[in-house]
Structure formats: structure tokens, C-alpha cells
Chains A and B, each alone.
Chain A
Amino acid sequence: MSILSANNLSKAYGERRIISDISVRLEKGEVVSLLGVSGIGKTTLFNILSGLEAPDSGSVFLSGEDVTGRSGLVGYMQQNDLLLPFKSIADNVVIPLLLRGEKKKSAIEKALALFPEFGLEGLENYYPAQLSGGMRQRAALLRSFFYSSEVLLMDEPFSALDAITRSGMQLWFRKIAREHGLSAFIITHDVNEALLLSDRIYILGGRPGRITHELPNSVPDGENQELTEEFLKNKIRITEFINGE
């Protein structure tokens, strides 16, 4: 059974249909990219998957249970880190735990235990403004992880970073995702990112947005994989799929 699945989702704002008849699934421990150009309805799809918006038709299932229109069940990491500028990094990452009613002391202890792995050791008392964009994204990911270590929805999580930091973050995320068996949907319009991080890739196209292709992908190991012949072939193929729409 898929950990998260959506069947035949459609959504319109007024007369404008944004997505049409979209079905996607996410297996446990799988990282799946949703690739498509801007304005194709990727964020609308995420809002529906996270329960922030209800679809006009179709259903969302979390571990087999119908959760359509119910928010608060999956972790949602957005494009910007959305860290609260007036809270320390430790206080930021424990927000989901506190919202669940956990005591602050034990929440902070849990967070500090994961700080080294997330590259945040020694930064617990820093304010977000004192950290680089990459470090802030790490903190945002840890916060999402605390919200749901089962399913993460990541909306262009590294797009606000410079190219060098983004590349480092992608490698790091790949490692973290494997070690923790994360199940994540990642929205991206970066073909490289999709190929570097995903076990599967959905390509969204058309107006209204729909799934045009579903492609398996093997996540390459090591650095500089984007320079291999196989990677470049896959990149050309996917780019052709996107441009063909």
C-alpha cells in the first residue's frame, strides 16, 4: 500500500481549471519528484495533498485512509525556509513538537540530538538571520521532519539557494533521506535536481496541469554525477518530454 496516494484530483479557481485528473502515489522510503514548468499547478497539487485545499474532485489517501481536505497530517516544506526571525534555531525546529503538546524541554532535547546530523550543531541559540541560506534550509527541513517523519512535501526546497549551496544541499538531502527512510514528494522545475534526488519522476504538463509521464530513476551515487553520460541522456530525454508539452 502506498504511504500517500491521490486519485483523479481536479481543481479549478473560478472558471480556470488548474489541474485535471491527476493521480500520483508515494511509496514508503521513496523520494518522488514532480517536475514541470512554473504555473502548471504543482503548488496547487501540494496544497491539496497537504489538506490546505480541498479538490473539486478526487481523493487523497494517507496509508490507505481517506484524508482529503484534512490538514496537519504530512510535513510541508515550502520554497522559503519560513523560519521565525525572532526565535532561535532550536525554538524554530521544535514548533511542530510543541504544537503536538510536547513539553519544551523534551522537544529541545529531541532536536539537539538531531542537530549534528542536520549540520546544525552549535547553532541552536542562533537566530535565523545569523545563518546562511543553506543552514536555514537545513533547519526548515528538520522542522518539517519533526512534523512528519513519515511523509514530506517539499515545494522547491532548494530553489532560493545559490548554485553551489544548492548542489551541496542536494547531496546532503540524498544522504539524510536514505538514512531516515524518508518518503518525500519534491516539487521542482530543475531537471538536474529531479534526477539527483528521485526514485521516480512525474512530469506535469498541459493546461490544466496533468501528469504526462511517469519515469523510474536510479539515484546516482557520489558527487558530480550530473556529468556522466547516462545522466545527460536522461536529462535530454526529460527536457524533451517537458518541451513536447
Chain B
Amino acid sequence: MNKLYPLVFIAIIIAAWELVCRLGLVAEFMLPSPGKVVRALISEFPAIMGHSRTTLIEAAAGLGLSIAAALVFAVLMDRFEFLYKAGYPVAVMTQTVPTVAIAPLLVLWFGYGMAPKIILIFVACFFPMLIALLGGFGMADPGVLRLYRSMNAGYLRILRDVKLPYALDGFFSGLRISVSYSVVGAVISEWLGGEGGLGVYMTRVRKAFAFDKMFAVIIVTSAISLLLMKLVDVIQIAAMPWKKYEKK
């Protein structure tokens, strides 16, 4: 029943949008009707899928690198307090830099290939992953940590047995945010140029004033983000089978 509410809400918005277009309240070249957008989506589907592939490869590469780097930094910052004190403010600073602003610089430094795009996605995804992991390490039960220490367990053992599993909840929360950041980051970086990708496709259709296609690609971008977030949920359920027994 709860899932019905947003579906009804979306249906109302689409109906209102269609009505606005049919009544001619907004010029068609500025706001194509939902029907026209669907027709554009169907006709352009093969091309959009081809561009999606490029975007997804960039997103996966950037996200994968950010997860690996966040894991390494989170472990080091958890193990060595001085690294936490030194690194945390720098990590916060990376979040204050607008990705749109640094994208042209990255293109200037690394060209129009995949490298600047992957770096931009990395910058966008690293911080949420790092914070999620550090927060997750902090969720480890202090009593369990004391118990492990009383049994003379070393840091690596505690990390493997206690801290990393306790961090899984936080990790998946961070991952859910980061997958959507990675797709959006890839599209933004592609606006600045390149051979392919949804952002490149968007730029082309915008220049051609084909706004029905523009809307079609926006829908595909959103759908990809939603599907990836759902995929994270599915993986989380599979990776944490004990969760279903825990009391809410």
C-alpha cells in the first residue's frame, strides 16, 4: 500500500504535465508532452543504451576506486589517530568543492578521455564512502572490542572480525548515496566533451533543441540511478542475512 502513494503521486504529475502541454500553456519546444518523450525514448532507445554503457563504465570505475580508497583511508584513520586528525578536514574539504567547477580543470589536465570523468566521480563518491565506513567502525560494540582485547587479539584481527562486519550497515548506506552520485557525476563530466556517454548525448540533443530526447535521457539517467540503488539493497540483504532476525 505504501508503494502505491508515490506511484499515484507520479501519475498525477504526469497527467498534469500532459494537460499543460495539450492546453498549450507552455510552448512545445520548451516542454514536450509525456507522450512525445516516450516516443523519443522508444525511437532513441538503442542510441541511449549505447551511451549508457559508456556512462556506466565510467561510474563503475570511479565508484570502485572511491570504495577501495575510502576503505584504505578509513582503516588507516581508524588505526592511527593522527591520520584521522590530519585527514578528516581534508576529506571534508573535498566535499565543499563543487564538482561542476572542477570538471573543466580536470578536462584541461587529463583531456577528453575517461580519466577526468573517473577522477570527478571519485571525488564525488570518496567522501560519502569514507564517512560511512568511519561511522561504521564506530558502531562496533565497545564491550566486544574490550572482549577481543582481553583475549589479546591484534588490530587486524579486530578489524576483520569486528569492525568491518559492524561497518557493513554504514558501508551500504554510503554505497546507496555513492551509486547515484557516480551516475550523476559521470553525466556532469561528460557535458564537457568526449566520445560517448549520456552527458555527451544530452549536450548533442540540447544543441539540436530536441528537448523530447533530452527528457528521455533524463528519465534514463534517473532510472539507472534508481536501479543501482535497488541493486545495492538486494546485495545488502544477501550480504547481511542476520539482519532479518534483528528486532526493529
Determine if B157 and A127 form an interchain contact, defined as CB atoms under 8 angstroms apart: no
Within 8 Å by CB of A50, from B150, B153, B242, lies: B150
Determine if B143 and A78 form an interchain contact, defined as CB atoms under 8 angstroms apart: yes
Within 8 Å by CB of B150, from A71, A84, A87, lies: A71
Is B151 at the interface (CB under 8 A from chain A)? yes
Is B141 at the interface (CB under 8 A from chain A)? yes
Is A147 at the interface (CB under 8 A from chain B)? yes
Is B196 at the interface (CB under 8 A from chain A)? no
Q: A52-B146, A72-B151 are contacts. A127–B141 as well, Cβ < 8 Å?
A: no
Interface centre among A78, A85, A129, A147 (most CB of B within 10 A): A85
Chain A residue with the shortest CB-CB distance to B165? A86
Cα-based distance from A178 to B68 in the complex (angstroms):
52
Is A80 at the interface (CB under 8 A from chain B)? yes
Interface of A is mostly: loop
Contacts of A96 in B (CB 8 A): 151
**Least Cβ–Cβ distance between B56 and chain A, in angstroms:** 31
Please give the number of chain B residues whose Cβ is less than 8 angstroms from any Cβ of chain A in the complex: 22
Cα-based distance from A87 to B162 in the complex (angstroms):
10
Contacts of B246 in A (CB 8 A): 85, 129
Determine if A72 and B152 form an interchain contact, defined as CB atoms under 8 angstroms apart: yes
Chain A's interface size range is 20 to 34
Which residues of B163-181 are within 8 A (CB) of A? 165-166, 168
Is B240 at the interface (CB under 8 A from chain A)? yes
Cα-based distance from A209 to B229 in the complex (angstroms):
56
Is A95 at the interface (CB under 8 A from chain B)? yes
Is A82 at the interface (CB under 8 A from chain B)? yes
Which residues of A110-153 are within 8 A (CB) of B? 127-130, 147
Within 8 Å by CB of B151, from A80, A87, A127, A147, lies: A147
Q: Give the tally of cross-chain contacts (CB within 8 A).
A: 51
Residues 80-105 of chain A: 1 if any B CB is under 8 Å from the residue's CB, otherwise 0?
10101111000000011001000000
Within 8 Å by CB of B240, from A76, A86, A95, A130, lies: A86
Determine if A99 and B157 form an interchain contact, defined as CB atoms under 8 angstroms apart: yes
Is B245 at the interface (CB under 8 A from chain A)? yes
Q: A99-B157, A129-B247 are contacts. A52–B149 as well, Cβ < 8 Å?
A: yes
Chain B residue with the shortest CB-CB distance to A52? B150
Within 8 Å by CB of B144, from A52, A82, A99, lies: A82
Determine if A71 and B147 form an interchain contact, defined as CB atoms under 8 angstroms apart: no
Determine if A82 and B150 form an interchain contact, defined as CB atoms under 8 angstroms apart: no
Is B161 at the interface (CB under 8 A from chain A)? yes
Residues 34-62 of chain A: 1 if any B CB is under 8 Å from the residue's CB, otherwise 0?
00000000000000001110000000000
**Least Cβ–Cβ distance between B170 and chain A, in angstroms:** 14
Determine if B165 and A84 form an interchain contact, defined as CB atoms under 8 angstroms apart: yes
Residues 219-248 of chain B: 1 if any A CB is under 8 Å from the residue's CB, otherwise 0?
000000000000000000000111001110
Determine if B147 and A82 form an interchain contact, defined as CB atoms under 8 angstroms apart: yes
Determine if A84 and B245 form an interchain contact, defined as CB atoms under 8 angstroms apart: no
Which residues of B130-167 are within 8 A (CB) of A? 141, 143-144, 146-147, 149-153, 157, 161-162, 165-166
Contacts of B165 in A (CB 8 A): 84, 86-87
Determine if A82 and B245 form an interchain contact, defined as CB atoms under 8 angstroms apart: no
Chain A residue with the shortest CB-CB distance to B154? A99
Determine if A72 and B150 form an interchain contact, defined as CB atoms under 8 angstroms apart: yes
* Chain A to chain B: the 8 pairs with minimum beta-carbon distance, closest first: A72-B152, A129-B245, A127-B242, A86-B165, A129-B246, A82-B143, A76-B150, A130-B245
Which A residues have a C-beta under 8 Å from some C-beta of B?
A: 50-52, 71-72, 76, 78, 80, 82, 84-87, 95-96, 99, 127-130, 147
Which B residues have a C-beta under 8 Å from some C-beta of A?
A: 141, 143-144, 146-147, 149-153, 157, 161-162, 165-166, 168, 240-242, 245-247
Known: A52-B149, A76-B147, A127-B241. 13 other contacts (CB 8 A): A50-B150, A52-B146, A76-B150, A82-B141, A82-B144, A84-B144, A85-B246, A87-B165, A95-B151, A95-B161, A99-B152, A127-B242, A130-B245
